[in-house]
Amino acid sequence: MPEGPPASPPVQWLHPVPAAVHHPILAGLILAIVADAVRNGFHIDLGDNWTWLPMAVWFLAALSLLVGIARRLPMQNVVAVAVGGALMGFALDVLDAHTGLPFGNRTYEDGSGVRWGNVPLLMIPFRLTLLLMGRGVARLVLKRHRRLEYYGIWVLGLATLLVVAGLMMIESVAAHLHWWRWIEFQGRTVAGAPLAYWIGSPVSVLLTLAFLTPWLLNKRPVPQPVDFHPLFIWLLLGGWLGAYQLARGDTFGVVGNLLLNVVVAGAAWRGTRPESPRHAVRAQSTKAGEGQVH
């Protein structure tokens, strides 16, 4: 029988050390989520000394996502993303704590942990997790549409929407864990937060992602595995938040959380499916036609 073509070597991550460290960190995140979900599900009161456990979830999630992008990006890019994202997000939270802008007046409570400038340090991994996770999932959803003329803008827009959707799921849980509360005011609320929060949050997320995007791009791209890690983190955190919603009897929150996770997972799965030959040929012919016109 004639021999077939030689098998192509498996695609590897660009940097093997972060790829090896990534799995133990992810295992630690899963362990923290399971431990906190069990504690919450069985209503085990461990006292104030165990308030660090929910915070550890955000710290490990942010660390896992940073190590995840270190598998395909140079270390200086990862450091720039971590420092830039942390400083921009924390500066906005400090500004908001003193002026009520851009998110509205809120007070951080004892469950949020150590503070600096009236803002808990928890907000640093919290915002980094949402930013990196939202952008990573958006890239999965739009992977098969990379030929779009304004692909980068579509990624920014979708990532911003995903972050805002995540904030809506987190809001009731943050109140339950005594991370923050909104100061009494006259006006409408959405998911328990003032409208200013839902106006300031997408604007700040969009600006921060636009600032960080140059460091999140590989200037010398090489074939690497499809990165499902942000989607996995999204589903893990969604399940963790769902456990708190179940414990509180928040039926509306549980249903909304489940629907959001199903839609996001389905869109990401479809986005990573290979294009049909007919669609690919049509896209190439359209691109060739545009080249002839110009």
235-291 pLDDT tens trace: 999 999 999 998 888 899 999 999 999 999 999 999 998 765 554 445 444 444 444
What the block records as the tokens of 77 is: 């890019």
* Verdict on whether the full-model pTM lies above 0.85: yes
CA distances from 105 to 89, 182, 193, 206 (A): 16, 6, 10, 21
What the block records as the tokens of 197 is: 């929060």
pLDDT digits (tens, 9 = 90+) for 86-137: 999 999 999 999 998 899 889 999 888 889 988 999 999 999 999 999 999 9
Tell me, yes or no, whether 226 lies in a domain.
yes
User: Rounded to whole angstroms, how far apart are CA atoms 74 and 217?
Assistant: 10
Q: How are the residues of the chain apportioned to helix, strand and coil, as percentages rounded to the nearest 5?
A: 70, 5, 25
Q: What is the pLDDT of residue 47?
A: 65
Tell me, yes or no, whether 108 lies in a domain.
yes
Q: Does residue 58 register a pLDDT over 70?
A: yes
CB 129 within 8 Å of CB 65: yes
Tell me, yes or no, whether 281 lies in a domain.
no
Tell me, yes or no, whether 290 lies in a domain.
no
pLDDT digits (tens, 9 = 90+) for 17-29: 999 999 999 999 9
pLDDT digits (tens, 9 = 90+) for 189-238: 888 899 999 999 999 999 999 999 999 998 777 788 899 999 999 999 99
Q: Does residue 45 register a pLDDT over 60?
A: yes
Tell me, yes or no, whether 291 lies in a domain.
no
Q: Which domain holds residue 88?
A: 16-276
Q: What is the pLDDT of residue 238?
A: 95
Tell me, yes or no, whether 289 lies in a domain.
no
Domain count, the chain: 1
Tell me, yes or no, whether 294 lies in a domain.
no
Tell me, yes or no, whether 95 lies in a domain.
yes
